[in-house]
Structure 1
Amino acid sequence: MNNSHFPADFLWGAATASFQVEGASREDGRGQSIWDIFCRQPGAVLNGDTGDVAADQYHRYPEDVALLRRLGIQAYRFSIAWPRIIPEGRGKINQKGLDYYRKLCDELHASGIQTVATLYHWDLPQPLQDEGGWVNRSTSYAFEEYAAVCFSELGGYVDRWITLNEPYCSAYLGHYMGVHAPGHRSLDETVAVIHHLNLAHGLAMQKYRETKATEPIGITWNPTTPRPATRREEDSHAADICKMLETNLFVHPVMGKGYPEAAKTYGFDFSSLSHPGDLDIISTGPLDFIGINFYNERAVSWSQSSKFNYEFEPSWEEKTDMGWPVTPSGLLRMLRIFALECPGIPLYITENGCAMADVVGENDTVDDSRRIAYLRKHFKICREAIDEGIPLSGYFLWSFMDNFEWAFGYSKRFGIVYVDYATQRRIPKNSAYYFRDVIAGYGL
């Protein structure tokens, strides 16, 4: 069976993020990020791991680009490290940082690979955090300044732009659950961060439209679209609440629908944060595409005792090394929702993949057959979505290579390329060759 049902212009890519792969954390003028500081808080990251070296892509990008080309990957989604471009968060520009991304893009283009740059993948400059970070409205305007620099200086190098990656994680994991940088636990902070991230996206969109550039620009969300655990009405209501708080608070304002009024019941009141004109800025458009990061779907039930009246239920499906259930049918449900709620906007899967306990075997082979099975199931769902008429335009596998997995340090491996962190040697896993074959038209 080949993948002839995928359109000829369907874009096959792989993804990484700056802090997770670049390393060189103190080189060539790069400033400190909130993750550099968070990694050094006792107990914050497993084994005290840091991103100081990571996968050393800052020095090894020619080797990595050659490997992308060898695998037939058509586009590389990477993120730009804000502290590498403007070390203090605002003000002086670091030319060496710009030079690095120009060289990376030149190398990719010379290999026939499209460049997809994410402006913000969580590595906020620490000097801005010292002023309050995303809780402080001024950070949105610092992001606008940083985005303008990227558009001006890298505009001829980037084929597609993404403003923010998973603002849910920056808000909830960083400021409500405390498991990501900066490690805070405050609902009031979380509400402020949600609004200021949304505002930052809108301000960046305005700046980009002012440039008259024609390369596509969008945003990447990791939406929660849970299914009710039972047919009971209260579980259906719980699923609606979960979607409202974890998805609609981000999607609806950007799509011009404002904040869900019902969210105020749970403490998400933006009236004191939203200045006149904010919602118009946030919904600056049009979005040229929407990026969706999907790893799993969860079942939820009504809970009278939980703060937000929903809780996630145990699942029967096979689990990845992260403990996440493998639920490819949930991807189809999610794509249907976005096709319905955001009509006419091309959709890209900007992250999808799984962590597995990979081991290098004989002859430098990594048999990750469970990852191949995971990918095959999700590729078939992508094809089903296209056959239904859903405007799915591309797929970016997470991740191109093993890397620093945030609070889990180097204990989880998502890559289709194995990284030996002691030597930085790259070893393509069997899934890398499987992905190559799928892109070439085979393997499903």
Structure 2
Amino acid sequence: MPNPSPRQQTRLHAQPSISADRLVLLPSDFRLGVSTAAYQIEGAAREEGRGPSIWDSFAHTPGLTANGDHGDVACDHYHRWRDDLDLMVDLGIREYRLSVSWSRLQPSGQGELNPEAVVFYRALLEGMRERGIRPLVTLYHWDLPQPLEDAGGWPVRVTAERFADYAARTVGALGDLAEDWITLNEPWCSAFLGYHTGAHAPGRRDWGAAIAAAHHLNLAHGLAVAVIRAELPGARVGIANIVTDIRPRTDSLDDLAAAERLDAASNRVFLDPVYLGDYSEQVRRLLGADGLDAVIRPGDLDVIAAPTDFAGINHYQRVIARHDDDDAGPLRVREEPAEPATTSFGWSVIPASLTAVLMRVSREFTSLPLLITENGASYHDYLDPDGDVVDLDRVSYLRGYLDAVVTAVEQGADVRGYYAWSFLDNFEWAEGYGKRFGMVFVDYATQRRIPKLSAHWYRRLISERMSQLEPIGVKR
């Protein structure tokens, strides 16, 4: 077991946990876990039949990622997964949200699955089962096979249909080893960062294409739910949407309208059709004439609104919106970071924002159980002279945001789990390896894993939570 160093132990004793009288308010089946994504950790980019994804193409294009970083090796999890799962067990982690790679499983984006990829993922899931780790499997975390992008990508309808086929084949091949499935991770990022701003793969800058992509991603989710139900009738299925806490800069009518527009194009365009069965008036007024109305076909909304079993919520920050007619894009909104913006990304650290998001989703959109499928912060982590990573900021962050979850439960939200982002430091997309979100430090030159103070704090929290449940005989 990777015990804290003497220095870490001293610091750990000085870091309070969440009080027992707060922890006990969580449901007895509440999950405390961690998250990762395939392209960010696996590496082995050209091994055993894996094909290129849009992120391989994007990251290997000069100037698009920090320092030209890419995921060819990343954390080398493809070869080190056994040790990584053992480390999870040592840290008390028994709930793990991972993604499988579309470009590894189905390199061309259609047809039979790559048998070597199936062997890999079956071994990984079997290894989790052997260690008592429950998987929450995400089918799509942004690694669209490049051949599908070459054929038009998410702005064209056929990509949603290809995704449904991939989902059916993957669940058919792996479904005996996992009951819990997420269709898509953060379709907002795939649509608007990928096709509007160009900040993410595939790096296109076309507002209309982004809107079409948003609808087809929603459609892909609904189609996938149907095929997962058919392949694995007992599966629990949901989607993980990023939900941002958006506030107007002032109470002026202009700023209030700007915040509403940003909310419509960030949150509502994905939450409305999945949970309420239609795009809201705000979304249609904002996006309809720019392409949304043109891509909606009869029956689409019924498909998108297929019943799910939980709502996945990714949350990172509060942003401030102000009206801006000058050079602010089609929304005429200027986004500003809320204060305090203290992460290395310049994102806000406001735990009450997570409470607000959970309450909003549970009151306005769905009564489904909520899973926080991602929440975390990047800091300027480093190995000190003793070889430790004493990430006090992250400990404080986790304590604050987990307490915010308890507050939401107190206020009536049905929250059933929290998956911290992330288990390992990893390839942080366009930011490369300069942003560290992990509870475990990765020395990329040697691939050595070093649990940070936050990992030991989280292990203690999980242990305290389990000790609360043992007297009443609660099991996972």
* Pairwise same-fold verdict (TM > 0.5): yes
Match of 1:27 in 2: 47
Question: TM (normalized to structure 2)?
Answer: 0.90
Which of 353, 367, 370 is matched with 1:344 structurally?
367
Q: Secondary structure at the match of 1:51?
A: coil
Equivalence for 2:313: 292
Give CA-to-partner distance per residue, 1:163-201, whole Å, 9 cap, x none: 000000000100000011100000111011011111111
Answer with 210-219 or 261-270: which moved more: 261-270
The aligned residue for residue 351 of structure 2 is 328
CA contact (8 A) 2:168 2:231 kept: no
Give structure 1 stretches of 5+ with no counterpart: none
Residue of structure 1 aligned with 2:418, choices 351, 371, 395? 395
Cα distance in 2 for partners of 1:223, 1:184 equals: 23
Q: Which moved more, 1:332-341 or 1:223-232?
A: 223-232
**1:372 maps to what in 2?**
395
1:244 aligns with 2:264: yes
- Structure with bigger helix share is 2
Out of 303, 319, 330, the residue aligned to residue 324 of structure 2 is: 303
Q: Match of 1:290, as an amino acid? A: A
**Structure 1 counterpart of 2:292:** 270
Aligned residue for 2:346, secondary structure, equals: coil
Partners of 1:162 and 1:50 lie apart in 2 by 25
Give the match for residue 6 of structure 2. Answer: none
Q: Does 1:195 align with 2:215?
A: yes
Instruction: Report how far residue 17 of structure 1 moved.
Output: 0.2
SS across alignment from 2:311: strand
When the two structures are superposed, what TM-score results if normalisation uses the length of structure 1? 0.96
The one-letter amino acid paired with 1:53 is V
TM-fit CA distance, 1:267: 4.1
* Equivalent in the alignment of 1:78: 98
* Distance in 2, Cα, partners of 1:119 & 1:216: 13
Alpha-carbon distance in 2 for matches of 1:249, 1:293? 15
Summarize the Cα distance change of 1:9–1:264 in structure 2 as closer, same or farther, 3 Å threshold. closer
Partner secondary structure for residue 156 of structure 1: helix
Deviates more, 1:359-368 or 1:81-90: 359-368
How big is the shift at 1:442? 6.8
Indicate the residue corresponding to 2:469 in structure 1: none
Residues 23-422 of structure 1 mapped to structure 2, 5 A cutoff: 23-268=43-288, 269-284=291-306, 286-305=307-326, 306=328, 307-422=330-445
* Partner Cα separation in structure 1 for residue 162 and residue 240 of structure 2: 20
Q: Deviations over 1:132-158 (max 9, x none)?
A: 111221111110110001111111111
Distance in 2, Cα, partners of 1:130 & 1:97: 23
RMSD (Å), alpha carbons: 1.5
Q: Aligned partner of 1:103: which letter? A: A
| Offset, 1:314 | 4.8
Match of 2:16 in 1: none
Q: Which residue is equivalent to 1:8?
A: 28
Any stretches of 5+ residues in structure 2 without a counterpart?
A: 1-18, 467-476
> Could you tell me how far apart the structure 2 residues matched to 1:344 and 1:188 are?
33
Can you list the C-alpha shifts for 1:402-429, whole angstroms capped at 9, x where unaligned? Answer: 0000001111100000000001000000
Please say if residues 271 and 365 of structure 2, whose CA atoms lie closer than 8 Å, have aligned partners that are also in contact. Answer: no
Determine if contact 1:226/1:239 at 8 Å carries over to the other structure: yes
Amino acid at match of 2:322: S
Q: 1:201, 1:314 → 2: CA distance?
A: 30
Q: Deviation per CA, 1:342-395, whole angstroms, max 9, x where unpaired?
A: 332000110011101111123321000011111111011011111112100000
Q: Which amino acid letter does the alignment assign opposite residue 407 of structure 1?
A: A
Q: Which SS does the other structure have where 2:142 is aligned?
A: coil
SS for the counterpart of 2:277 is: coil
